[in-house]
Amino acid sequence: MRLRVSILLVLACLLGMSAPVWAESFATKMQLGHITKLENVKLKPGQYRFLANPSTGQVKVERHYKLVAKVKGQWVKLKKKSQYTEILMTNHNIQEIRFAGKNKAVKFAA
């Protein structure tokens, strides 16, 4: 009986440690045609990949497979699922990233 409890405890620990692997993340690629700001980070024109983690709100920005920035955003719930992946900007400042088929978006401080 003690052996069974020990085995179940070990399995529960292993499942708990592997939970971050199961965490969903959203990713999108975007071509920027001009210098763009994301919070306090300036992004030069070029191809970028944005990786957003729904559990932490952190967005990683990569260019040429290298990490360029880590920015904290706030997840907001949309009224309906977004049809397209899109980045909303005002005066070359990224305000929000929406992901196709999701009813969540990550919003950044103005």
- Interval 38-96: pLDDT, tens: 999 999 999 999 999 988 889 999 999 999 999 999 999 999 999 999 999 999 999 99
Q: Where are the domains of the chain?
A: 24-107
Residue 12 CB contacts under 8 Å (≥ 6 apart), including other chains: none
